[in-house]
Each structure stands twice: as structure tokens, then as C-alpha cells.
């Protein structure tokens, strides 16, 4: 039985070392699915409360919708409020959520009541691919 103990201890140590490497990684946007992204809402409980209470007011076109008992999610919406994607937030830190929202193109204001520059009014929507004004000629 003593021969079994060292390999078992090594196996447990290996499992402990591998677990952090296989933990949830940061969300990577699928830009093909998000071509019509114009706004989002955060559906949240307490795990990301700091982001909700302190950061959301600074973002343009990002609103919070509280659903009791729901897991926190960032719901990405299109121009007609159609759902494009849901991103789970419960495993993310406040910093990771802020980085994600900015990577998605949401404009962060200097103050919650600050004006939004004209070029960011429709952010995070991206303009359609450039087309010629004379494409029909």
C-alpha cells in the first residue's frame, strides 16, 4: 500500500496544478455574430455588483436589467433589440468585464451625466462596409 501513496500524492498535486490552467478563460467575442451590435443590457446578481453599481452609469448604450435569481449575463442586442449573444459574467472580475465592454466598442463617459461625442452616439454599432455612392452606375 505504501507504493500506491506516492503516485496518488503526485496525481493529486498534478490535478491541483492543472486545474487553474483549465479554469474559465476570458470571453472572446465572435465578431461575425456581432456585426449588428448596437447596445447591450447586463442581467446580474450580486457577484458583479461593483460593475453594475459603479461602472454601468459611465457607459453609453449599456443598461442594467435586474432579474431576481438569474445568473449575471451581458446580453448583446442588435438595432431592433434582437438578441445577438449572451455572455456569462459570473466567472469574470470587474476589470475583465470593463475590458470586454470596451473591446466591444461601448463608449465610457468621463462622468455618468457627461455628453456623448457625436461620433459615439450610436456606439458600439459599427458602420456597414464602405459602399460606393455610385454602385448602381
- In order of their start, the domains of the chain are 28-109 (3.40.30.50)
Q: Which of 61, 79, 62 is nearest to 127 (CA)?
A: 79
Longest Cα separation, the chain: 85
Q: Give the HSE-up count for residue 81: Cα atoms under 13 Å, Cβ half-sphere.
A: 2
**Predicted TM-score (pTM) of this structure:** 0.61
Asked if the model's pLDDT at residue 24 lies above 70, the reply is no
Mean pLDDT of 1-26: 45
What is the side-by-side strand order in the sheet with 73-78?
Answer: 62-65, 37-43, 73-78, 83-88
pLDDT number for residue 129: 54
Beta-carbon contacts of 50 under 8 Å, excluding residues fewer than 6 positions away, are 94
Mean pLDDT of 46-55: 79
Amino acid at each position: 500500500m505504501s507504493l500506491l501513496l506516492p503516485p496518488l500524492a503526485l496525481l493529486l498535486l498534478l490535478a491541483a496544478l492543472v486545474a487553474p490552467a483549465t479554469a474559465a478563460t476570458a470571453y472572446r467575442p465572435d465578431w461575425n455574430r456581432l456585426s449588428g451590435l448596437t447596445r447591450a443590457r447586463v442581467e446580474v446578481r450580486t457577484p458583479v455588483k461593483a460593475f453594475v453599481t459603479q461602472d454601468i452609469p459611465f457607459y453609453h448604450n449599456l443598461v442594467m436589467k435586474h432579474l431576481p435569481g438569474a445568473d449575471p449575463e451581458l446580453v448583446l442586442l442588435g438595432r431592433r433589440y434582437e438578441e445577438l449573444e449572451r455572455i456569462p459574467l459570473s466567472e469574470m472580475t470587474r476589470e475583465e468585464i470593463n475590458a470586454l465592454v470596451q473591446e466591444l466598442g461601448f463608449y465610457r463617459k468621463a462622468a455618468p451625466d457627461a455628453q456623448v461625442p457625436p461620433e459615439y452616439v450610436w456606439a458600439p454599432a459599427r458602420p456597414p462596409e464602405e459602399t460606393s455612392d455610385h454602385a448602381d452606375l
